[in-house]
Copies of this chain bind each other. A is one copy, B any other.
């Protein structure tokens, strides 16, 4: 049985859910793939770092975090500690790094730098962070190839539902001609709430109250999050280079409440639709509110459910729908990436 050392850079909701899932699935991973793992370090921004050469007792760490979610990880070992993530990566002695630091939509940094450091040190990287993928996919993939390691990011677009692994494995020699999707939960929830009678502000407050929308929801409402996701899909699956800033982008801010309700009453719905379409040698990428007919699978997408529809040269329209996402499904995408790395 082969054993892998893993390290966590960033240990928020996703990192902790992933640790719990790894513990829960430890025996199944051994049974199915003859592979075990141990944890060699955890690095957080606000709650300290753990870096040990011996195996970290991750079960024990998780139990202590459950008792005190704000515990300083440094107090868990008597060892000298590191605060610089780059130094952490150099010293963590891991085979696989789970990079789950906060997303930076503008540049992808500092995560791009962290991932480069890891890949250049011969460490496989799994991330749920959209920033480095949309800003540096081609460069990071090349660095990974040069170093004989993998750079996987299944959880960056649809919370763990299989998208990138689908094309990497299940759909060989396919040429994607069009991608269409509803990929931003906040705007989708807001539109549904307005249909049901909320004002725009009430709908935003509701989305904030259940933890979907941020304090400043403009990244969602103005279509930035959706632009990052469709730019990433186009970049990875259609082989082009497109930055979120290049996406023809229109959010839901200018939609009128009456417009949204009238559409619903006449059997249609406004949805914030992401599209990437190949025409001749160009790919046009856009995010824009669209009036969707009742016959479209996009029509049914409510709240936090996501859909992506692929058109290609070999299959009819292929749609993937994920319902009820959360940190645990994002964590599963990271786990799937980990297993797909170690079994190859």
Contact = CB atoms under 8 A, between A and B. Distances in A.
B320 A318 contact: yes
A257 interface: no
- Choose among A29, A315, A343 the residue with the greatest number of B CB atoms under 10 Å from its CB: A315
Given A32-B173, A297-B297, A325 B320 contact: no
B328 A317 contact: no
Contacts of A314: 21, 160, 328-329, 332, 335
Interface stretch (A123-131, A161-169, A208-216): A161-169
A299 interface: yes
Contacts of A169: 165, 169-170, 340
Contact of A318 (B161, B173, B296, B343): B161
A321 B322 contact: no
Interface string A251-286: 000000000000000000000000000000000000
Nearest to A33: B172
A65 interface: no
Given A295-B300, A300-B295, A314-B329, A28 B319 contact: no
A25 interface: yes
A9 interface: no
- Choose among A32, A322, A325 the residue with the greatest number of B CB atoms under 10 Å from its CB: A322
Contact of A317 (B154, B296, B324): B324
A94 B240 CA distance: 38
This protein's copies in its complex: 2
A302 interface: yes
A297 B295 contact: no
A66 B154 CA distance: 43
A161 B315 contact: yes
Interface residues of A, number: 45
A316 B160 CA distance: 9
A299 B300 contact: yes
A319 B297 CA distance: 11
A166 B336 CA distance: 11
A323 interface: yes
B315 A329 contact: yes
B170 A165 contact: yes
Given A170-B340, A300-B300, A317-B324, 12 more contacts: A21-B314, A32-B173, A162-B170, A162-B318, A166-B166, A169-B169, A297-B297, A314-B332, A316-B323, A318-B322, A320-B320, A321-B321
Q: What 7 pairs across the A-B complex have the smallest Cβ distances?
A: A316-B324, A162-B170, A165-B170, A169-B169, A319-B321, A317-B323, A172-B339
20 contacts: A28-B173, A160-B314, A161-B318, A162-B166, A162-B171, A169-B169, A169-B170, A170-B340, A171-B336, A173-B335, A173-B339, A174-B332, A297-B297, A300-B300, A314-B329, A314-B335, A316-B323, A317-B321, A318-B322, A320-B320
